[in-house]
Amino acid sequence: MPSDDNAVSSNTTTDYYFDSYSHYGIHMEMLKDYHRTTSYRDAIWRNAYLFKNKVVLDVGCGTGILSMFAAKAGARKVIGVDCSTIAVQAREIVKANGFEDVITIIQGKVEDLQLDEKVDIIISEWMGYFLLYESMLNTVLYARDKWGVPGVKMFPDKANMHVCGVTDHQYIKERFDVWRNVQGIDFSYFKRLSFLEPLVDTVERSQIVTNMARLVSFDINTVKEAELSFKSEFALEAQSSRGRRGSAGRAEDVENDVCVHGLSVHFDTPFTAGHDVVVLDTTPLAPPTHWRQTVLYLFIL
């Protein structure tokens, strides 16, 4: 049978995005992210009084773990929504854990959702790399405005982005300087292009050579989609390192200059809707999460 090229080409970027979340590996990575998973669990269970007999919407429910946290906290009804086929497996997981009378898993888009009542709480793990890259925040905001009761509780309800300067001589050498001579041929043109691509990786504490500054803060209770595109002014101050220098048995403290090769961006998402505040923080000063940090390297000739 001849292949249907048109059927293949009709897939959109959105289709591929949702299809990527059909694979079990990505969900295993998120479930094994201890800080990520326990932050949501603690935010829900430590504030279970908010969930008692409430209707909860889980946007991008994935395997359904947040929906089950909400059910265990006493929610009357939980609706989990996910566009990918992981929703099929989520239904089985919900059933296996005895929550099928409380949790309903729907495969589809939030924008196409039809509910018979408004929701009291919206939970979602919407954050992407760099907080906003391939995030679902716009979908969460749509759900908030369309299906939330007045004063709907958002979990999380705040989001902050932070930046600091980092040094990385080894990566600069391996990733960028290599273009100067490839088998005796100058590929410097590609050096400039390679700086345009951010690096998602774990930044070591020893690489941080400036203070940390806040880029932007969002209140998920009120932020509008248009406000997610932003400009930010910030100031960073390089922190010189100290070392020892000397000769002939004589030593003295000296300050060593540092080189800022790039800007590392991380985020935190506080859960402040309840009495017990929990913060999911992806700072390089804490144990790493699956989001790691995003580094924007500064172009060096």
How many CA atoms are closer than 13 Å to the CA of 146, on its beta-carbon side?
15
Instruction: Please check whether residue 240 is in contact with residue 253, taking contact to mean a CB–CB distance below 8 angstroms.
Output: no
Instruction: Please check whether residue 86 is in contact with residue 67, taking contact to mean a CB–CB distance below 8 angstroms.
Output: no
107-129-153 Cα angle (round to 5): 55
Give the pairing type, strands 158-166 and 208-219.
antiparallel
How many CA atoms are closer than 13 Å to the CA of 3, on its beta-carbon side?
4
Who's near 61: CB < 8 A, 6+ residues apart? 67, 80, 81, 82, 87, 90, 105
Residues involved in catalysis:
125, 134
Distance CA 152, CA 56 (A): 10
